[in-house]
Chains A and B, each alone.
Chain A
Amino acid sequence: MKDQSYDNNKLIDIKYDMNKRRIRDFIGIKLMQIITIIVSTLFVLIFLILFSKSIPIFENVSLTDLLFSSLWNPEKGEFGLLPIITGTIFVTGISLFIAVPISLLSAVYISEYAHKKTRSFLRPFIDVLAGVPSVVYGLCAFLFLVPLVKDFIAPRFGIESTGLCIFTASITLSVMVFPIIISLCVESFRSIPIELKEASLSVGATKWETIRKVILRASAPSVITAVLLGFGRAFGETIAVNMVVGGIPKIPSTLFHPGQTLASLIASAYGEMMSIPLYESALMFVALILFVVVLIFNLLGIILLRKVKRRWNY
């Protein structure tokens, strides 16, 4: 008899315990759910704020004028963003054009050719580079790259330049993008199963053929993600660009002329945006463009990723 009652007690204990665990489980799940909902709402909220704040400029200036007029004189009520959009496309495009191939080659070297010691020595450095605040890059570019472009590179092309120009900004950005792409690509190349390499090598492919036709393809999804992140950084980079791009909202006639980018424009103009009518709204619209473009590129990235994953799965 005594034994049984003891057992019953124990059973109740377990039941009580189970309830406690279930409640903990429930709270945990709900908490994560709520946090996720808040974060996702933020996304919508930012979009709504930017959009609603941009409405005044839509009411006063036509969208075609906003996007395709090359006159940017907020004091005179002229809000043509074309020069700034052009500047952004140039700076982002050139920086990625330089950064992507170089980073890929470097990642291939580190992951496939470098000695194990070199690799384990280099990787933390690259990760640190990826985390250095952008103002540091801006400062270095201002102190070293700007004079270099002014005194050596631009004169080579027969152009007089202050050094504060599209070219300098592009180079600065590409340097900032390197570590991100390299780091992610090395990570992904290293995660390719060694048996896949063996499969290629065993039919007599050389190492380079294996890298080009097997490793790069098999890691294409990660490479695309890396390039997208690099794009995000280059496209949205504000302070480092602001320090070296020149900040003049005119369509540059050469790469050695100053320009302006969308992100950098907001940074340099927000101090005076309250004093000029519609200026605030125009800057909100610029922010909206940044937001939407990043969104579009990410969506395109997702579509591309799906296709590539289906095609080059291993």
Chain B
Amino acid sequence: MFNESVKIETSNLNVYYHKNHVLRDINVRIPAKKLTAIIGPSGCGKTTLLKTFNRLLEIRDNVKISGEVIVDGENIFSSKKDVSDIRKNMGLLSQKPYPLPMSIYDNVAYGLKIHNHIKSEELYERVKHCLDEAGIWKEVKDRLHDPASGLSLGQQQRLCLARALSVEPEIFLCDEPTSALDPIAAQQIERLLDKLKNNFTVILVTHTLRQAKRLADYVIFLYFGKVVEQGSADELFNNPRNSETKAYVEGDIS
């Protein structure tokens, strides 16, 4: 299907949430250092699939997962793997930005301090670097020690991106990261995502088809918890093989 190396692969992944069969026999392959968009109507399990990848689904009650998620050749559900390491390897951008209840600086330093013993000067440089990468350094450099909650939503989302960058993940999980933002802030995030995909494996859940068309290299179409079609963006958008995909891509079902 594609020649790139596979970063994440699932085999027969099934998820039950409150006894609802949310994901059914998911078999997907996600290429490394590309942007993969997961599209589909709301409630089809996009977010659930995303959160199984870094095992965040498990912190909720009444969740049952079966099957395998293989990241870099290793099953993340195997008991050998430390959950924190799996999660650290996957940065998360959620629908609404959730800055931690601390200052702007500490939001980024949080992850760094957990994983490394570093001197404060080095910490400062790393925090600065991450904020810079997320395109927010210039806006916050004079108020690093103000509470993060004082930032605008768009700034908060970029701060969350900086926070995710701080622990040097290889994968980015983005759950409709622009849905709560105004058009300009959304555009900034999109640009960042476009930049990120050169160095990271980015998985973007989105309900905006146009966003997927703008950004995606590879697309997975989910419908009622099943993978209907997956393939390169070019192929899936211009030449869908499945009739449901065709209907969705053309806007007939939503």
A interface residue numbers (CB < 8 A to B): 116, 193-206, 209, 213-214, 217-218, 310-314
CB contacts (< 8 Å) of A198 on chain B: these are 51, 56, 59, 92, 94, 98
**Count, chain B residues at interface, CB 8 A:** 34
Interface residue? B209 (CB, 8 A): no
CB-based closest 6 A-B pairs:
A204-B88, A203-B111, A202-B92, A313-B149, A312-B101, A314-B101
Closest to A204 in B: B88
Bound together, the chains give a CA A205 to CA B112 distance in angstroms of 10
What would 18 A/B residue contacts be, using CB atoms closer than 8 Å?
A116-B61, A199-B98, A199-B100, A203-B111, A203-B114, A203-B163, A203-B164, A204-B85, A204-B87, A204-B88, A204-B111, A204-B114, A205-B84, A205-B111, A217-B101, A310-B147, A312-B102, A313-B101
CB contacts (< 8 Å) of A203 on chain B: these are 87-88, 91, 110-111, 114, 163-164, 166-167
Do the beta carbons of B59 and A206 come within 8 Å of each other? no
Determine which of A116, A195, A209, A310 lies in contact with B98 in the assembled complex, contact meaning CB atoms within 8 Å.
A195
Please encode chain B, from 49 to 75, with 1 for each CB lying within 8 Å of some chain A CB and 0 for all others.
001001010011110000000000000
Give min CB distance, A265 to chain B, whole Å. Answer: 43
Bound together, the chains give a CA A190 to CA B161 distance in angstroms of 26
Interface of B is mostly: mixed
CB contacts (< 8 Å) of A206 on chain B: these are 84
CB contacts (< 8 Å) of A196 on chain B: these are 98, 100-101
Give min CB distance, A167 to chain B, whole Å. Answer: 38
Give min CB distance, A196 to chain B, whole Å. Answer: 5
Bound together, the chains give a CA A313 to CA B98 distance in angstroms of 11
Interface of A is mostly: helix
Beyond known contacts A202-B91, A203-B166: 13 more, CB 8 A cutoff: A116-B61, A195-B94, A195-B96, A196-B101, A197-B59, A199-B98, A199-B163, A202-B90, A203-B111, A203-B114, A204-B115, A217-B101, A312-B147
Interface residue? B131 (CB, 8 A): no
* Given A195-B96, A217-B101, A312-B101, A202-B56 contact (CB < 8 Å): yes
Do the beta carbons of B114 and A209 come within 8 Å of each other? yes
* Given A217-B102, A314-B149, A199-B94 contact (CB < 8 Å): yes
Bound together, the chains give a CA A314 to CA B150 distance in angstroms of 9
Do the beta carbons of A201 and B100 come within 8 Å of each other? no
B interface residue numbers (CB < 8 A to A): 51, 54, 56, 59-62, 84-85, 87-88, 90-92, 94-96, 98-102, 110-111, 114-115, 147, 149, 160, 163-164, 166-167, 173
Bound together, the chains give a CA A8 to CA B55 distance in angstroms of 67
Closest to B94 in A: A195
Give min CB distance, A313 to chain B, whole Å. Answer: 4
Bound together, the chains give a CA A195 to CA B160 distance in angstroms of 12
* Given A202-B90, A204-B84, A214-B56 contact (CB < 8 Å): no
Closest to A112 in B: B59
CB contacts (< 8 Å) of B114 on chain A: these are 203-205, 209
Bound together, the chains give a CA A263 to CA B102 distance in angstroms of 41
CB contacts (< 8 Å) of A193 on chain B: these are 98
Closest to B92 in A: A202
CB contacts (< 8 Å) of B164 on chain A: these are 202-203
Bound together, the chains give a CA A193 to CA B207 distance in angstroms of 23
Closest to B62 in A: A116
Bound together, the chains give a CA A201 to CA B89 distance in angstroms of 11
Bound together, the chains give a CA A205 to CA B83 distance in angstroms of 10
**Highest count of chain B CB atoms <10 Å: which of A199, A218, A310:** A199
Closest to A312 in B: B101
Give min CB distance, A230 to chain B, whole Å. Answer: 23
**Highest count of chain B CB atoms <10 Å: which of A194, A204, A310, A311:** A204
Give min CB distance, B170 to chain A, whole Å. Answer: 13
* Given A197-B59, A203-B167, A214-B92 contact (CB < 8 Å): no
CB contacts (< 8 Å) of B99 on chain A: these are 199, 314
Determine which of B59, B90, B92, B100 lies in contact with A194 in the assembled complex, contact meaning CB atoms within 8 Å.
B59
CB contacts (< 8 Å) of A200 on chain B: these are 100, 110
CB contacts (< 8 Å) of A312 on chain B: these are 101-102, 147
Closest to A196 in B: B98
Bound together, the chains give a CA A153 to CA B38 distance in angstroms of 65
Bound together, the chains give a CA A314 to CA B88 distance in angstroms of 21
Closest to B85 in A: A204
Bound together, the chains give a CA A211 to CA B111 distance in angstroms of 14
Give min CB distance, B6 to chain A, whole Å. Answer: 22
CB contacts (< 8 Å) of A194 on chain B: these are 59-60
Bound together, the chains give a CA A266 to CA B241 distance in angstroms of 85
Closest to A308 in B: B101
Give min CB distance, A135 to chain B, whole Å. Answer: 39
Do the beta carbons of B115 and A311 come within 8 Å of each other? no
**Highest count of chain A CB atoms <10 Å: which of B61, B90, B98, B160:** B98
CB contacts (< 8 Å) of B59 on chain A: these are 194, 197-198, 201
CB contacts (< 8 Å) of A197 on chain B: these are 59
Closest to A119 in B: B61
